[in-house]
Amino acid sequence: MKKLQELFSDTLIYGISSVLARFINYLLVPLHTGVFNTAQYGVMGLVYAAIAFLNVIFTFGMESAYLRYAENRKEAPHVFKTLQIGLFVFASLLSLFLYLIMPSIMPVMSLPPESSGIFLLMIGILWFDTLSIVPLAELRLTRRAYLFAGLKTLNVLVNIGLNFYLILGLNYGIEAVFLANFAASLCMSIVVWIVTANLLKGSFSKYWVKTVLKFGWPFVPSGIGFVINEMLDRFLLNNMDPANAERLYGIGTTPEDIVGIYNACYKLAVFMLLLVQMYRMAWQPFFMRHAKDGDSKELFGQAFVWYNAFSAMVFMGVALFREQIVAISIPGTDKTLIDSSYWGGLEIVPFLLLAYWFHGWYINFSSGIFIKERTRVLYKITLLGAFITIIANVLLIPVLGMVGSAVATLLSYGVMATTLGLFSKRVMDVPYRLPESFGLMILLAGLVFAEPWMRGLFSGEMLTKGALLVAGLTFSSLYLWRFIRYD
């Protein structure tokens, strides 16, 4: 249990900083949805989807490669310097290439020619974020979690402050969002470069170039597949037949409006994503540190069950009370957390929460793949998920609209997690308790989706939601208790 406490401790530190950062960052949602119309918000979503896609290519799997090979602290300076120089050259060439083909790419993001400044800011964000990825990985690897948390918080504070100043003070349009993001990335990058500058004393090594590329390249198609799962739905919704958009959502509704509504309601899934990401920050360095322990398999199995118990609680709380969450009033204003013009997409939230729950499974199952250096399977599984995403979106969007995209995301993540779990057990036989874990997820999903039909059993909507929440938490506790009792 002492080792798990180490994992919980690091997760908590990353979690507090992430919760704080996300909470502060969430102030942008009422600001943006209150100031920009749904079509403008849709364009923002498309640009950030492009950033997510390009970020995979820019970083080329080097974050994971650094965590894998810099564990040997004698070699860490050489690995660090090799990666930083390599990423500097690679990111600079890619940035130049994007600049040259800018006129061809901008229409894909619904950016008119006069919005070239937004595209240039996007390139700048990608460049600085790429060159901070390895220094930030160093902080995680050496358990400098408080410094990592501080830098992430600095990034968010600069971003938030500039958003409010530029939009409310100077009346900028959506370009303010990307200008603020660029400034925040610049500030964080400079600080993290300074605190890790001592590692530049290492030497550039051709050996490490070959080693990290061999390890890291599978993360590129894997990452692209992940971004397809995560972001392609915005582009597919944006290309929806306008007549179909009006049929599903009313006269005058455009595909850009649908992307904006979808993007806003997608934000509620951030609560599950937050849990997954803060767990991932602690999990990757943790399992590398304990890979050679005699009880590593049992330890990783216990961590998975604890992850599921916490995910179950987040799922029930957000899925049941999503209408109440978006309607929270912002103190001192007449705005709500998400403007009411965006509430038409709230039905997508439970599907997305389940998808991210599965994403956490995928992260747990990756431990054996990393330890045994079988990373090539990752891109195959993720591309399988991307294929499912594309096919399911194409088939479901014309029928279900936004819900079709959310279901496609759930199907993709579910298949990816299950496939990796089966492969991972062949590589490293960890007791994941998959039947019980699947059972818990299906049971809680059933409670959430049955809520509209169960209101007749209770006196009012809130009493029904409360009763279902208690039931869900009880089942989650029983799941955890059974694990503790028998192991």
Q: Would you say residue 331 lies in a domain?
A: yes
Using pLDDT thresholds of 50, 70 and 90, give the confidence band for residue 469. Answer: very high
| Confidence at residue 74, expressed as pLDDT on a 0 to 100 scale | 83
> Which residue's structure tokens are 């971004």?
227
Weakest-pLDDT range from 35-44, 133-142, 325-334: 325-334
The answer on pLDDT for 458 being more than 80 is no
Two tokens at 420?
């990796």
Q: Would you say residue 409 lies in a domain?
A: yes
Mean pLDDT of 119-140: 92
Two tokens at 70?
């810099």
Using pLDDT thresholds of 50, 70 and 90, give the confidence band for residue 43. Answer: confident
Rounded distance between C-alpha atoms, residue 136 and residue 192, angstroms: 7
Say if CB 443 and CB 387 are below 8 A apart: no
| Confidence at residue 480, expressed as pLDDT on a 0 to 100 scale | 86
Rounded distance between C-alpha atoms, residue 286 and residue 453, angstroms: 44
| Domain span including residue 402 | 1-19+258-487
Weakest-pLDDT range from 14-18, 152-156, 281-285, 358-362: 14-18
Q: Would you say residue 207 lies in a domain?
A: no
Rounded distance between C-alpha atoms, residue 413 and residue 175, angstroms: 33
Say if CB 182 and CB 166 are below 8 A apart: no
Say if CB 299 and CB 371 are below 8 A apart: no
| Confidence at residue 358, expressed as pLDDT on a 0 to 100 scale | 95
Q: Would you say residue 209 lies in a domain?
A: no
Number of compact structural domains in the chain? 1
Say if CB 455 and CB 461 are below 8 A apart: yes
Q: Would you say residue 251 lies in a domain?
A: no
Rounded distance between C-alpha atoms, residue 138 and residue 154, angstroms: 18
| Confidence at residue 182, expressed as pLDDT on a 0 to 100 scale | 95
Strand partners, 329: 336
| Confidence at residue 264, expressed as pLDDT on a 0 to 100 scale | 86
| Confidence at residue 276, expressed as pLDDT on a 0 to 100 scale | 83
Rounded distance between C-alpha atoms, residue 46 and residue 39, angstroms: 11
Q: How far is CA 232 from CA 88, 89, 208, 386, in A?
A: 28, 28, 34, 9
DSSP 166: I
Q: What is the pTM of this model?
A: 0.73
Q: Would you say residue 62 lies in a domain?
A: no
Say if CB 468 and CB 337 are below 8 A apart: no
Two tokens at 47?
């640009």
| Confidence at residue 391, expressed as pLDDT on a 0 to 100 scale | 94
Where is mean pLDDT largest: 1-15, 136-150, 350-364? 350-364
**Tens-place pLDDT, residues 279-337:** 777 777 777 676 666 677 788 888 888 899 999 999 999 999 999 988 888 776 677 87
| Confidence at residue 238, expressed as pLDDT on a 0 to 100 scale | 84
CB under 8 A, 24+ apart: contacts of 477-486: 477/309, 479/305, 479/308, 479/309, 479/312, 479/436, 479/437, 479/440, 480/305, 480/306, 480/309, 482/436, 483/302, 483/305, 483/433, 483/436
Angle at CA of residue 458, ends 457 and 464, nearest 5°? 110
Q: Would you say residue 14 lies in a domain?
A: yes
| Confidence at residue 369, expressed as pLDDT on a 0 to 100 scale | 74
Reduced DSSP (H G I as helix, E B as strand, rest coil) percent helix, strand, coil of the chain, to 5: 85, 0, 15
Say if CB 276 and CB 315 are below 8 A apart: no
Using pLDDT thresholds of 50, 70 and 90, give the confidence band for residue 412. Answer: very high
| Confidence at residue 229, expressed as pLDDT on a 0 to 100 scale | 77
Mean pLDDT of 254-272: 86
**Tens-place pLDDT, residues 289-300:** 766 666 777 888
Q: Would you say residue 300 lies in a domain?
A: yes
The answer on pLDDT for 485 being more than 60 is no
| Confidence at residue 487, expressed as pLDDT on a 0 to 100 scale | 44
Query: Between 417 and 277, whose confidence is greater?
Result: 417
Two tokens at 282?
């602690």
Residues of the chain with pLDDT > 70: what percent? 89
Rounded distance between C-alpha atoms, residue 7 and residue 278, angstroms: 11
Q: How far is CA 148 from CA 66, 265, 279, 296, in A?
A: 16, 29, 14, 26
Q: How far is CA 64 from CA 41, 93, 196, 216, 370, in A?
A: 32, 22, 18, 7, 9
First-to-final CA distance of the chain = 11
| Confidence at residue 7, expressed as pLDDT on a 0 to 100 scale | 59
Burial of 400 (0-12, 13-18, 19+ CB in 10 A): middle
| Confidence at residue 4, expressed as pLDDT on a 0 to 100 scale | 60
The answer on pLDDT for 23 being more than 50 is yes
| Confidence at residue 457, expressed as pLDDT on a 0 to 100 scale | 73
Say if CB 357 and CB 272 are below 8 A apart: yes
